[in-house]
Structure 1
Amino acid sequence: MITIDETYLEETLLQLLAIPSPVGLTDEVVRYTAQRFSALGIPYELTRRGAIRATLTGKARKPARAVVAHLDTLGAMVRALKPNGRLAIVPIGHWSARFSEGARVTIFTDDGRQFRGTCLPLKTSGHAFGPEIDSQPVGWEQVEVRVDIPAEDGKALEAAGIQVGDWIAFDPQTEVTPTGYYVSRYLDDKAAVAALLTACKAVQDHGLELPVDAHPLLTITEEIGSGASAALHGDIAEMVSLDIAIAAPGQNTSEHAVTICLQDMSGPFDYHLSHKLIRLAKANAIPHRRDLFKYYRSDSAAAVEAGNDIRTALIGFGADASHGIERTHRDALHALTRLVVAYLVSDPVTPRDAQLLGSLDGFTRQIEPEELSMPNNPLPEPKEFLGV
């Protein structure tokens, strides 16, 4: 069995979580991740805005594959400087204001200064508002940021250098428990980034031979929907997205396993690639679950919607409370990392995928002919299909 450097995995995760990276403010986390690739001796390229495409060279150039995770996180932006000396805000990405209440934040200004503050409901003092504390609604218009400077009005905020459109990063509140749990904002998707880097390290450490070129991709706009629409090229035939998997009532996901998702709100993932991952998990005794996610999309959807004709699949670390104070266990991250390594050293779904277009020769099957014809239900003659 290939050993996984769990110390490297945890160190990388904690360092990633310590770098603020709401969508649009990702340069520093891109620099950090690029340096991690350099330290592993893995070449990479950056897009104009900072998505990373690294390369693990295989025996054949194509059909190449990609494994993608995203560096960007949720966050907020200053919408208005309020007359009471506080900040009205709007979210970056899709998340509930319910999870913003009480969080400590950093405001990033144009001149490079940073201010600390707290995101609070409009009515915060029980001694002033009594039962209204419990009856006020939830929403982004119902919260504000109290900045830790003397500010009685909007002019004081402006004089300090705070402006409409400044980025706000919420503290991750990271904790590692003695029982092996990671509790933090932004495990989505920094835990998957850490797993991907650790899988790359395993390939390098053990000198593993890859059958085809593999491209670790790190995107920077997944939380707003565009994600892996960039950084792909025509040789990539398969793409596996790594992301958070939802452990919640009604779901089949576990915080102690890797999840192989067969469908999200964008539709089913590729049959052959998804089932290949299931077979790899079984063959390598990797704890895994199968699941479907109703309110979910990933980098894979962005790649297909951008017009890329590629097979896509989604695997993830099981976690609780997505887009809130998330929690996963090191078991899930270990399982995810192992499955990524197993995928990287496996053969492509079909050699035919090296071509964008081709004949029926070598095309895949989902249902074998003998499965189509039951003893009491023989296949009709071809003319019946043709309407003859």
Structure 2
Amino acid sequence: MNQISPKSFERLEAIKRLTEIPSPTGHTQAIIQYIAQDLASRGIAYQLTAKGGLMVSLTGQDDQRHRFVTAHVDTLGAMVRAIKADGRLKLDLIGGFTYHAIEGEYCTIHSSRLDKTFTGTILMHQTSVHVYADARTAERNQTNIEVRLDEHVETAEDTLALGIQVGDFISFDPRTQITPNGYIKSRHLDDKVSAALMLELIHKIHSQEMTLAHTTHFYFSNNEEIGYGANAGIPEQVEEYLAVDMGAMGDDQQTDEYSVSICVKDGSGPYHLGMRNYLVDLCEIHQIDYRLDIYPYYASDASGALRAGYDVRHGLFGAGIEASHAYERTHADSVDATYHLLKYYLASPMLTSETEEE
């Protein structure tokens, strides 16, 4: 595979910058502040919501019928569940992932009492094969997985004295790498790929390099991993709701790392058929490589909005992400395909009941 273009590399670098800002669900202030500062530096108005999200509303050619587009900046993470007798930490998971996916990962503990962080490593209690007969076979679960702090602690009191307590957030090191041939591998590509692309297009629209077909509300969601990121405060003029989120890869999946994945159904049920077909038409007209897929154990902010009772057409697409909710990977080709589909969608007229019937 050849080296990627400078523009594609620039997109991957923008994603990398976002992955390096810790933002487990419930502790997203830093990344929201980063986006807010970026927007303010360009003179782009935004609104902060009560639950901590950020929305940018940009006027389109049609200001009567609106669109709502969301990407989430919150990630998987954990909280301190308990401080063990030897000073190590028991975890409580935030988001839907397995303990196997984080074993051996470096992490940061964010003290809620102090403006201070501490580093550590997530390990099995029975890690040493020289000591524990069940090191290979013991179950990876809340009882056996713990955080080894990079501090001299021998008792629970030692750890408490540092300023660490139950309820402190724990973020996982992203370990982001970009390869010369266009792969980006990192934790939290779900959904910082989409957030970076949405931010890039907001810049482009504000600078008048492209025109919106409809007034559009861009929402950086901060609670998606726990199921209710952007399902409130949707303006009443909104008719279409698009979630830009990862495409899931694995057995029986069509999604790959080199195209945009369009979701036809997830664990919440089918997505709107007319909107799905419209996205496919845009891909075929503009020669964007795409895959249609079902994500069996998945839900999005779009499905959350429908559960909340909003009367909107809902759609979902995104870059194909290998090893989702673990150490993830995608390729610049998939990132670029997602960018182009989002760009053409925003510039194209909205569905009507008449166009759906054609």
Compare CA radii of gyration and give the structure with the larger one. 1
Offset, 1:9: 2.0
Aligned partner of 2:129 among 108, 126, 129: 126
Q: Residues 277-319 of structure 1: CA distance to partner in whole angstroms, max 9, x if unpaired?
A: 1100111111111111110101111111111111100001001
What is the RMSD computed on CA atoms of the aligned residues?
1.7
2: CA distance between counterparts of 1:231 and 1:91?
A: 28
Retained in 2: the 8 A contact 1:97–1:143?
A: yes
Offset, 1:36: 2.6
Q: Residues 186-239 of structure 1: CA distance to partner in whole angstroms, max 9, x if unpaired?
A: 000001101111223333455322221011111000000011112411111101
1:185-264 → structure 2 map (5 Å cutoff): 185-205=187-207, 207-264=209-266
Offset, 1:272: 1.1
Retained in 2: the 8 A contact 1:5–1:202?
A: no
2: CA distance between counterparts of 1:175 and 1:365?
A: 43
Q: Residues 121-169 of structure 1: CA distance to partner in whole angstroms, max 9, x if unpaired?
A: 0101111124x11111122222000111111111111111111111101
Q: Residues 169-198 of structure 1: CA distance to partner in whole angstroms, max 9, x if unpaired?
A: 110111111221010000000011011112
2: CA distance between counterparts of 1:100 and 1:160?
A: 24
Retained in 1: the 8 A contact 2:12–2:178?
A: no
> Who is 1:68 aligned against?
70
1: CA distance between counterparts of 2:16 and 2:288?
A: 24
Unaligned runs of 5+ in 2: none
> Who is 2:137 aligned against?
135
Aligned partner of 2:281 among 272, 279, 300: 279
Instruction: Give the letter aligned to residue 107 of structure 1.
Output: I
Offset, 1:67: 1.2
1: CA distance between counterparts of 2:43 and 2:8?
A: 19
1: CA distance between counterparts of 2:257 and 2:144?
A: 33
2: CA distance between counterparts of 1:206 and 1:5?
A: 19
Matched residues, number: 353
Aligned partner of 1:85 among 81, 84, 87: 87
1: CA distance between counterparts of 2:118 and 2:173?
A: 13
SS of aligned partner of 2:299: coil
Instruction: Give the letter aligned to residue 172 of structure 2.
Output: F
2: CA distance between counterparts of 1:242 and 1:91?
A: 24
TM (norm. structure 2) is 0.94
SS of aligned partner of 2:245: strand
> Who is 2:267 aligned against?
265
Unaligned runs of 5+ in 1: 351-361, 369-388
> Does 1:326 find its partner at 2:336?
no
Which piece of structure 1 moves more, 201-210 or 300-309? Answer: 201-210
Instruction: Give the letter aligned to residue 65 of structure 1.
Output: R
SS of aligned partner of 2:319: strand
2: CA distance between counterparts of 1:119 and 1:136?
A: 15
1: CA distance between counterparts of 2:6 and 2:65?
A: 27
Over the matched positions of the two proteins, sequence identity in percent amounts to: 38
Offset, 1:62: 2.2
Retained in 2: the 8 A contact 1:69–1:241?
A: yes
